[in-house]
């Protein structure tokens, strides 16, 4: 199992609302800590691109979508519980 | 100046829901451009109400709408509500947008989140389709996902602000058990109650196994509304809210046209028949020919060519036809010609409200001008005690408004006492004409008596008549009163016979007397004749007597002269002569 796989994330945010800002901060620090050098984060501001959010089925913000590696996963919220987020993303093994 | 101070008129702008009855209760619909909270238990009809509101806007008022589904996916909604004939799929393309906001089964939650994204997306969609109405169905589902009461409160405010900023007329539905104000404190909706401009509560209760639904407007800012619980049913076309007679309603079409009751003498007793559009109540014990009397009316209406419906709770249509044919009321040809429709409602179960809605729908479908409900007391079956009176009231109200002549029969179960007292339904006071059928037990017979207890606006006979059913149909016979008692049946017949005999006797007696007098006269005449004859005889005799006396005297004198002459002794008297 290669350890050099790149994680692609897309974070849907609601402009600079508190929850969204927190989520982006939490995600960034988590990535830097556990996936240094092998992650990409795309931020989609739902306020700017509502059509896209609608088409992508995004209802609640912030929503984090892990596009790759498969499977695609969605996590809603500020991502404040780091351990739990890692577990959800299947990253806890790496972290250990 | 003054009118300007009353505030912006937009407060009172209403968005009609298209739900029959509800718009009447709220005097026009939901507050336009504002939010309404719709609360109710599971299966109370929240989604249906909300969807009907959207459909009405999209289809009839050119107000496109958005449905945000938190509980059921749009595909399931479309399938579930296909039966109402709203052409949802067709509307969906143009004026109705469904947003699937059901939480994904694999949804992972971490930390706080908000609805900002969804509202932004919805805002774009609303602008694009120029939406005027929006529904958030089952908001409680998404609120439950939020961590903590403060987050819930925040999102509710966010939603409310968003709705106001877009000027959409919104409905937020949420599950809530019961209607008690105290329980709301624990709910996150308690703040919603203060926030929204209108709150509607849907209730669904089961009484004696009969489902009873009702709806109550809890608050409505800036508008008056009916504060009472209003029963409703979910019918073929969606919601149907029952409305009591409201003051603001248009005048009824009152006519003085009369319609025949089907029994000639009854028409006479009523001074020409029932009024068109009147409500007639026929009360009586079982077997007093209530059905027959009401069907006679139906048959007469059909003969006049008026479309008529009979709703029978007692028997099937075929049975009704057969039973009435035995008393000379032929209904089968009217059924065949399509003029008459017999609806057997025996098997329809449900609340009085349901029955009323069914009756209304069927009558409308048949375009009936005359309606017979036999018996209306069925509405009073177990479980309907609370609503039956209101239903009966609305039944009469509705018939009047549509100018349908309504004949209801009502069964009186209580054989003892209360013979002429009000019926259980107390609709006797609402009915225009009240005919009471009764049994009179006399001389070992049970006979049917009919009397008109009241008839508004028509003069009517005060007499109890005997109702006779025969092959020839329904007829009314005069009754005899003897010693303060009404005679019927055989007693009446006997009385009639006795009168006939008495008349005969009198006639014969008169004849006899005449003959006797004739005889006496004859006798007297004869006597008079014989006396006259006798008189004549006497007169003759008298004449004779006179004559003989004279002749004898003459002879005597003649004889004396002769003797003198013969004696010659005396100087003949001749010289003296």
pLDDT of residue B59: 86
Whether the predicted pLDDT of B289 surpasses 90: no
pLDDT of residue B424: 53
Whether residue A75 and residue B108 make contact (CB cut-off 8 A), yes or no, is: yes
Taking the CB of residue B423, how many other CB atoms lie within 10 A of it?
A: 25
Whether the predicted pLDDT of B317 surpasses 50: yes
pLDDT of residue B482: 65
Residues of A in contact with B67 (CB under 8 A): none
pLDDT of residue B386: 66
Assign domain A7-95 one CATH number from 3.30.160.100, 3.40.50.2300, 3.55.10.10, 3.40.30.10. 3.40.30.10
Cβ proximity of B298 and B359 under 8 Å: no
Could you read off the pLDDT of B177-186 as tens digits, one per residue? Answer: 644 444 444 5
Q: Indicate the residue of B106, B109, B122 with minimum beta-carbon distance to A77.
A: B109
**Cα A7 versus chain centre, distance:** 10
**How far is the C-alpha of B519 from the C-alpha of B527, rounded, in Å?**
12
pLDDT of residue B352: 77
Per DSSP, helices labelled H in B367-458 are 385-401
Percent of chain B residues past pLDDT 90, beyond the cut: 10
Whether residue B111 and residue A19 make contact (CB cut-off 8 A), yes or no, is: yes
Whether the predicted pLDDT of B481 surpasses 80: no
Whether residue B121 and residue A81 make contact (CB cut-off 8 A), yes or no, is: no
Which of A62, A60, A53 is CA-nearest to residue A26?
A62
Q: Indicate the residue of A15, A54, A74 with minimum beta-carbon distance to B104.
A: A74
Which of B122, B532, B299, B456 is CA-nearest to residue A47?
B122
Whether the predicted pLDDT of B412 surpasses 50: yes
Residues of A in contact with B117 (CB under 8 A): 12-14, 46, 53, 58-63
Q: What is the mean pLDDT of residues B130-136?
A: 91
pLDDT of residue B320: 84
* Strand extents, DSSP E, B394-531: 405-411, 433-442, 445-455, 465-470, 473-477, 480-482, 485-487
Measuring CA to CA, how many Å separate B125 from each of B59, B164, B319? 19, 16, 60
Q: Indicate the residue of A63, A73, A74 with minimum beta-carbon distance to B117.
A: A63
Whether the predicted pLDDT of B276 surpasses 80: yes
Whether residue B108 and residue A23 make contact (CB cut-off 8 A), yes or no, is: no
Query: What is the least distance, in Å, from the CA of A9 to any CA of chain B?
Result: 15
Which of B20, B30, B23 is CA-nearest to residue B163?
B30
**Cα B471 versus chain centre, distance:** 27
> C-alpha angle A85/A49/B157, rounded to 5°?
70
Whether the predicted pLDDT of B525 surpasses 80: yes
Which of A48, A59, A86 should we substitute to test contact with B (largest number of B Cβ atoms within 10 Å)?
A59
Higher pLDDT, A68 or B252: A68
3-state helix vs strand vs coil in chain A, percent to 5: 35, 25, 40
Taking the CB of residue B440, how many other CB atoms lie within 10 A of it?
A: 18
Query: What is the least distance, in Å, from the CA of B195 to any CA of chain A?
Result: 22
Which of B482, B75, B162, B38 is CA-nearest to residue A14?
B162
- Residue spans of the domains in chain A: they are 7-95
Percent of chain A residues past pLDDT 90, beyond the cut: 6
**How far is the C-alpha of B252 from the C-alpha of A93, rounded, in Å?**
80
Whether residue B109 lies within 8 A of chain A, CB to CB, comes out as yes
Q: Which B positions 141-160 lie with beta carbon below 8 A of chain A?
A: 142, 145
Per DSSP, helices labelled H in B196-316 are 264-269, 290-303
Average pLDDT, chain B: 80
The token pair that represents B11 in the structure block: 């407060």
pLDDT of residue B534: 94
Whether residue A47 and residue B116 make contact (CB cut-off 8 A), yes or no, is: yes
pLDDT of residue B239: 80
Query: What is the least distance, in Å, from the CA of A90 to any CA of chain B?
Result: 13
Whether residue A77 and residue B110 make contact (CB cut-off 8 A), yes or no, is: yes
Domains of chain B: 7-241 (3.40.50.300), 258-492 (3.40.50.300)
Which string of b and e fits A54-85 if b means at least 16 CB within 10 Å? bebebbbbbbbbbeeeeeeebbbbbbbebebb
pLDDT of residue B468: 82
Q: ipTM greater than 0.90, yes or no? A: no
* Strand extents, DSSP E, B208-325: 210-220, 230-235, 238-241, 258-259, 274-275, 279-284, 308-312
pLDDT of residue B418: 43
Whether residue B100 lies within 8 A of chain A, CB to CB, comes out as yes
pTM recorded for the entire structure? 0.67
């Amino acid at each position: 199992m290669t350890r050099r796989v790149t994680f692609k994330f897309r974070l849907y945010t609601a402009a600079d609302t508190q929850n969204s800002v927190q989520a982006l901060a939490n995600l960034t620090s988590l990535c830097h800590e556990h996936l240094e050098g092998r992650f990409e984060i795309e931020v989609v501001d739902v306020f700017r691109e509502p059509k896209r959010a609608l088409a992508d089925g995004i209802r609640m913000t912030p929503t984090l979508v892990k596009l790759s590696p498969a499977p695609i996963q969605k996590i809603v919220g500020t991502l404040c519980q780091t351990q739990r987020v890692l577990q959800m993303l299947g990253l806890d093994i790496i972290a250990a | 100046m003054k009118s300007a101070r009353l505030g912006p008129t937009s407060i009172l702008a209403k968005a009609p829901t298209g739900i029959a009855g509800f718009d009447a209760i709220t005097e026009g619909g939901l507050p336009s451009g504002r939010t309404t909270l719709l609360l109710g238990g599971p299966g109370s009809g929240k989604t249906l109400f909300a969807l009907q509101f959207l459909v009405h806007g999209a289809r009839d008022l050119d107000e496109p709408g958005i449905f945000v589904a938190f509980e059921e996916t749009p595909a399931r909604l479309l399938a579930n509500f296909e039966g109402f004939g709203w052409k949802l799929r067709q509307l969906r393309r143009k004026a109705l947008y469904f947003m699937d906001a059901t939480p994904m089964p694999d949804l992972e939650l971490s930390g706080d989140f908000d609805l900002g994204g969804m509202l932004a997306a919805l805002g774009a969609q609303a602008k694009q389709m120029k939406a005027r109405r929006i529904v958030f169905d089952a908001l409680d589902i998404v609120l439950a996902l939020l961590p903590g009461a403060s987050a819930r409160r925040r999102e509710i405010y966010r939603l409310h602000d968003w709705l106001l900023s877009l000027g959409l007329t919104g409905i937020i539905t949420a599950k809530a058990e019961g209607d008690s104000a105290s329980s709301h404190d624990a709910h996150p909706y308690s703040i919603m109650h203060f926030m929204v401009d209108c709150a509607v509560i849907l209730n669904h209760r089961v009484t004696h196994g009969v489902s009873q639904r009702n709806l109550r407007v809890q608050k409505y800012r800036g508008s008056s509304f009916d504060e009472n619980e209003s029963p409703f049913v979910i019918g073929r076309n969606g919601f149907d809210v029952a409305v009591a007679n409201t003051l603001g309603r248009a005048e009824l079409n009152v006519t003085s046209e009369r319609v025949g009751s089907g029994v000639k003498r009854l028409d006479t007793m009523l001074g020409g028949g029932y009024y068109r559009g009147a409500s007639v109540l026929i009360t009586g014990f079982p077997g007093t020919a209530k059905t027959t009397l009401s069907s006679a009316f139906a048959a007469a209406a059909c003969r006049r060519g008026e479309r008529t419906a009979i709703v029978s709770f007692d028997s099937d249509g075929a049975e009704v036809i057969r039973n009435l044919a035995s008393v000379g009321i032929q209904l089968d040809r009217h059924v065949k010609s399509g003029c008459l429709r017999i609806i057997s409602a025996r098997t329809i179960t449900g609340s009085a409200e349901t029955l009323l809605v069914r009756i209304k729908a069927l009558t409308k479908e048949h375009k009936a001008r005359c309606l017979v409900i036999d018996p209306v007391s069925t509405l009073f079956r177990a479980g309907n005690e609370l609503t039956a009176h209101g239903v009966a009231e609305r039944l009469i109200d509705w018939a009047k408004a549509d100018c349908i002549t309504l004949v209801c029969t009502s069964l009186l179960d209580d054989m003892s006492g209360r013979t002429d007292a009000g019926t259980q339904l107390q609709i006797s006071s609402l009915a225009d004409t009240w005919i009471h059928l009764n049994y009179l037990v006399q001389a070992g017979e049970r006979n049917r008596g009919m009397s008109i207890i009241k008839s508004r606006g028509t003069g009517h006979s005060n007499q109890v008549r005997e109702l006779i059913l025969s092959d020839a149909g329904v007829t009314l016979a005069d009754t005899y009163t003897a010693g303060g008692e009404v005679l019927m049946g055989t007693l009446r017949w006997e009385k009639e016979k006795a009168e006939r005999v008495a008349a005969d006797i009198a006639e014969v007696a008169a004849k006899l007397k005449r003959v006797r007098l004739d005889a006496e006269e004859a006798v007297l005449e004869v006597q008079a004749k014989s006396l006259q004859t006798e008189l004549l005889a006497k007169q003759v005799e008298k004449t004779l007597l006179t004559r003989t006396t004279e002749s004898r005297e003459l002879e005597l004198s003649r004889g004396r002269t002769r003797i003198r002459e013969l004696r010659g002794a005396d100087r003949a008297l001749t010289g003296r002569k």
